[in-house]
Structure 1
C-alpha cells in the first residue's frame, strides 16, 4: 500500500503517470508496504500468461527476494524510477523516504532493487542518471543503497507512520531490535533474489 498522502498524476505521454505527495512526508517515513491485497504472481503462473499479459505484468510489477512478481493493488505501481530517488526499498521489505518530500513533489524510487530480469534503458533527467538499469545493479550498488538507508532509517522511530500498522509482526520485531542495537541493521541485500544453482 502506498502512503495515504499521495496522489496519482498524469505527467506526459512519454512518462505516463507518476505518484506525487499531497502533504509533507518527512525523512524516515514508510512510503510503501507490501500488504495482504498485493497480487503475487509466481514464475510458474507467469509462464502460463500470454505475451500481452506478461508485458503488463513486467511493466507494473517488481520481483521480490523469492522471485515472485508483485503487483500493487493501488497506484503504488506508478511510482517512477529516479537515479536520485527520494524513497528506496529497505531490507525490512518496506520503502522509506530517504529525504524530506514536499507537497506536489514526485515520489521516486530505485528500480535497480527490483530484481530485474533484463536491462532497461532510462533517462531520469538527473545529472547522476545511469542511463540504464540492469540485473547486476544489486551487486554493484547495494552498498551505496545501504548507506542512503542508514542515513534515514533511524528517523523512522521519530516521525508519524500511517503505514506502520500494515508492517508484519516479525518486521516490527526486527525494527525494535534495530532501535536498541543499530549495529543489527538488515542490509537491502536481503531483498536480492538468489537464483538456485
Structure 2
C-alpha cells in the first residue's frame, strides 16, 4: 500500500504515469508497505500465464527475495525509478523516504533493488543517471543504498507513520531492536532474490554466507 498522502498523475506519453505527494512527507516516513491485498505471483504461476499476461505482470511487478512477483493493488505500481530517488526499499520490506518530500513532488524509487531479470533503459533526467538498470545493480550498489538508508532510518521513530499498522509483528520486533541497537541494522541485501543469488554472486563475495543468507514499471 502506498502512503495515503499521494496521488497518481499522467506525466507524458513517453513516461506514462507517476505518483506525487499531496502533502509534506518527511524523511524517515514509510511510503510503501506490502500488505495482505498485494497480488503474489509465484515462479510456477508465472509460467502458466500467456505471453500477453506475462508482459503485464512484468510491467507492474517487482521480484521479492523468494523469487515471487509482487503486484500492488493500488497505484504504488506507478512509482517511477530515479537515479536520485527520494524513497528506497529497505531490508525490512518497506520503502522509506530518504529525504524530505514536498507537496507536488514526484515519489521516485530505486528499481535496481527489484531483482531485475533483464536490463531496462531509463528515462531519468538526472545528471547522475545510470542510463539503464540491470540485474547486476544489486551487487554493485547495495552498499551505497545501505548508506542512504542508515542515514534516514533513525528518523523513522520521530515522524508520523500512517502505514505502521500494516507492518507485521516480526518486522516491528526488528525495528524495536534497531531502535535499541543501531548495529542490529538489516541490510537491503536481504531483499536479494535467493534463487538467483548464487549465479550472480560477485567474486569478492565468494564464501560470504553471511551476505548470501542475510517492479513497478510504467
Establish whether TM, by shorter chain, passes 0.5: yes
Contact 2:15 2:123 (8 Å CA) reproduced: no
Aligned to 1:14: 14
Partner SS, residue 9 of structure 1:
strand
CA distance in 2, matches of 1:14, 1:123: 9
Partner SS, residue 195 of structure 1:
helix
4+ aligned runs moved over 4 Å, structure 1:
none
Report whether the alignment pairs 1:117 with 2:134.
Answer: no
Instruction: Report the CA distance between 1:101 and its aligned residue.
Output: 0.1
CA distance in 1, matches of 2:92, 2:46: 26
Aligned to 1:33: 33
Partner SS, residue 170 of structure 1:
helix
Structure 2: gaps (5+ residues): 199-218
Aligned to 2:183: 183
Instruction: Report the CA distance between 1:194 and its aligned residue.
Output: 1.5
Aligned to 1:2: 2
Contact 2:87 2:99 (8 Å CA) reproduced: yes
Provide the aligned C-alpha RMSD in A. 0.7
Matches within 5 A, 1:1-197: 1-195=1-195
Deviations 1:104-142 (A, max 9, x none): 000000000000011111120000000010001100000
Structure 1: gaps (5+ residues): none
Partner SS, residue 101 of structure 1:
coil
Greater fraction helix:
2
CA distance in 1, matches of 2:194, 2:32: 23
TM-score normalized with structure 1 length: 0.99
Aligned residues: 197
CA distance in 1, matches of 2:177, 2:141: 26
